Amino acid sequence: AQKITQTQPGMFVQEKEAVTLDCTYDTSDQSYGLFWYKQPSSGEMIFLIYQGSYDEQNATEGRYSLNFQKARKSANLVISASQLGDSAMYFCAMRDKTSYDKVIFGPGTSLSVIP
């Protein structure tokens, strides 16, 4: 069965520093996709980055990069040069081949950027 684990309920990072948010997943499929979303206090869900299980390169989008370690089933989000506006909840999500139409989310990590 699909499962997403985010073991860091809350994280603090100094402005301009990099931070890594952890995500591990469980699936028996070889074909799956991993996503990261940002949720500011306003509640909107903002898509950040996507990694396919067959992608050979780690995904990058601006200051966001995904450290994908397939054998360890981890897909950590790295935010470089943190900004005050990065303070938000961050969710890891997954869909796999068996249940392509179902997307499940992890419990989230609350990130606070300190000036």
Partner 1 sequence: SQTIHQWPATLVQPVGSPLSLECTVEGTSNPNLYWYRQAAGRGLQLLFYSVGIGQISSEVPQNLSASRPQDRQFILSSKKLLLSDSGFYLCAWSALLTPLHFGNGTRLTVT
**Residues 6 or more apart from 3 whose CB is under 8 A from it?**
25, 26, 27, 104
* Binding footprint of partner 1 on the chain (CB under 8 A): 33, 35, 37, 43-45, 47, 50, 91, 93, 95, 100-108
CB closer to partner 1 out of 25 and 91: 91
DSSP result, 2-24: -EEE---SEEEEETTS-EEE--E
Q: Least separation, in Å, of the C-beta of 69 and partner 1?
A: 21
Q: Least separation, in Å, of the C-beta of 52 and partner 1?
A: 8
Q: Which tokens in the block code for residue 5? A: 């684990």
Q: Least separation, in Å, of the C-beta of 16 and partner 1?
A: 27
